[in-house]
Chains A and B, each alone.
Chain A
């Protein structure tokens, strides 16, 4: 266990130190990855996710998940250009994962692999057909300011290229750098802006910050839309590569209720049909069948400054049914209450603590996991 933790820690440190320069730059803006909830990222990862699941449970899993498009992109960065990007919908909606399973003594207990496809992914605003129209309407006022101020100082400069250059250098800082406030511009440029904007009482405003806020708000509206996935996965026994189970899963999530300026509740439903080994019969087969369904709500609390989810609390109920292969003294169905508390440690690292309560057995279980997303690996 110590070895695995040490290797994982080194892995995170190595990758996160590489990512730092771009992370600082991008923190100015709300991007797809950093405003997605941890629950969403567990359902569909954009790039890479590494997870240590059920660290305190009897069956530990070391999981690597990736988006197929992210893998393709590593070998051909040109696929990211918009006209290629749109051709790769299947790959972008596909996730694969590989698990290394360990028993309670941290010994090899088999492997598993899975494939997941997003049949409805309205959260993927990158290809949303209405995104541009919505954004253009939202940004119209700021574009008018840019055009009218530009015309005003271009007229003042006339054919004087040095003067035009000076105005333009100052104004470009205002347009592109959110730390440059109106009050830090030259008096001449301030006067030009004041003469073109009807009401400008705030001397501390930033053009770049305003347009980034507008963009972030448009993106936010997509982060609450429906995501519906279907998946298939299989596991092997610890002593070889014979299938021990076959699972088919469908899961959907969407934001339902805004509970405050910086929090909302999203629903989450999941159904899994499993073909398992009937251990009462000789040999290995997949004749035991089990239906597991889970439904509930995930309450997401965001940082008020940058809208990044920082704490999530998920409450669900689980219903299990065994239609075929019921063991003696086993309940045909059961019902449990579950709670998962997710804490965001850094931009990329989440720690989920899962708590299950068996209503009939009156048992309480706790599972601690560790998950990290490596979105920046998929980028330049």
Chain B
């Protein structure tokens, strides 16, 4: 029983991280219709900045948190500028070039992180250390915070997209870019904000996970893949999609750990990829069938 609860909670907390990265994807995809392969880097970069500020410079955690978010926002903005460097209302950027630019930036960020922090994995501080017990299972407080953060951010994002003008403008430019220009929306500025927002959400994920998963400069790719997976599995529903996809992914991965030995580990790694391929074959629009016409 405890094992089940343990697996469930670990799955949900890991899933929350994937959900957050997936949300970052979703926001950027909304703005630009491309998959930002650099999305994973923001998580790692943000986490690194956070732990450096707290660890080396003794900055109080809340301040360091804000600082890391701001820097990630700038990275996100830079990404959008680079991707849309040559685009105009009548000549949008080509898909291949856009994706390749994000790939190039992924490498760039990875290289910068290597230069700044070297190759040794680092560990960040927990928001709240220690564990508690639930039905006999041992749960880290940090895990709880991950789930709480994911819940708060998802709700916040949902409200932002539904109720604020900027959020509405973002959804509009995702639906029909040309029409958005004609509605008076400054599409390129909205795009920049969307990327910045996506980067900040990603950074939050990195900050939260850094005490549990040691961060190293190559982790960007790992986050990117799981985030994409979460986004694809959940479907194109702006907020609910990545959340459902991420949680499901986290649960599936951890459930396989119940199977003892190497088989469990193998399945944990391979099954998500198989799920992705199956989805691409049978249901490219994701689990939550898109309402988009």
Q: Do A and B bind each other?
A: no
| Residue positions of B touching A, CB distance < 8 A | none
Instruction: Report which A residues bind B (CB closer than 8 A).
Output: none
